[in-house]
Structure 1
């Protein structure tokens, strides 16, 4: 029997708060989503001024990152590099801004952020993910 760490409410709150604080520090109005390792929602927050669609996009970026066990940017780069057949894969968040949460070498979930430039989204997501990584 194998064992692995899982995200609990305390970790979810830590991740969301770290990402929220980083976004506020820069004045970025974003939505921040957290999913478990299967891409199921654990937490979502949309900062004042963030567009309604940013919540949907953030969740999809997180789901893509969790299921793929890598940053969602890898898929964006793959498609932009000419592998357009990848567009048929049933993932909706193949844009930069989804980052896996890794604990003890296990992907336990992912953070997705949407609302500003893609590299800024990724920066906020990485801040959240790294707040508990070991």
Structure 2
């Protein structure tokens, strides 16, 4: 029997730091400071940055937004819409699932390579900043 393996893709630490810088710039352009989290494809935290004077709750929220995006390969704002469906609504009880805009999957060559989560602005601002940072690095489909 031949053992089959699966190859996964993830960003290097240098690339993660570049993404973090792009996200920080996108947040600043929208007039807010934030906590920014980046996870690998397994939802494991790679880097976390909390700006000065940003509420400490944003640490958990940004991390869980990134985890949610990486876990399912779709943005947390999409999850917000899905929660209205009765068959999906029970997932709202999962402690890490965060159906609030600001979490977006990192996609490389069609594969989920992780997630970015931003918390500090409105859910719309967080989402837009995350997408802008990913687009700047060609990490969205």
CA-CA distance at 1:57 after TM superposition: 0.2
CA-CA distance at 1:94 after TM superposition: 2.0
Q: 1:95 aligns with which of 79, 100, 115?
A: 100
How big is each residue's C-alpha offset from its partner over 1:20-58, in whole Å with a ceiling of 9 and x where there is no partner? Answer: 011122221211110000000011111223111111100
Query: Does structure 1 residue 32 correspond to structure 2 residue 36?
Result: yes
Max Rg structure: 2
Find the residue that maps to 2:68 and give its secondary structure: helix
CA-CA distance at 1:74 after TM superposition: 1.7
Query: Does structure 1 residue 122 correspond to structure 2 residue 127?
Result: yes
CA distance in 2, matches of 1:39, 1:27: 28
How big is each residue's C-alpha offset from its partner over 1:65-94, in whole Å with a ceiling of 9 and x where there is no partner? Answer: 000111011221111355422223453322
> Structure 2 length as normaliser, TM-score?
0.85
> Structure 1 length as normaliser, TM-score?
0.89
CA distance in 1, matches of 2:95, 2:121: 24
Aligned 8 A contact 2:42 2:71 in 1 = yes
Aligned length: 134
**Partner of residue 85, structure 1:** 90
Find the residue that maps to 2:83 and give its secondary structure: helix
Query: Which segments of 5 or more consecutive residues in structure 2 lack a partner in the other structure?
Result: none
**Partner of residue 77, structure 2:** 73
Q: 1:21 aligns with which of 13, 25, 37?
A: 25
**Partner of residue 60, structure 1:** 64
Give the superposed CA RMSD: 1.7
Query: Which segments of 5 or more consecutive residues in structure 1 lack a partner in the other structure?
Result: none
**Partner of residue 105, structure 1:** 110
Runs (4+) off by over 6 Å: none
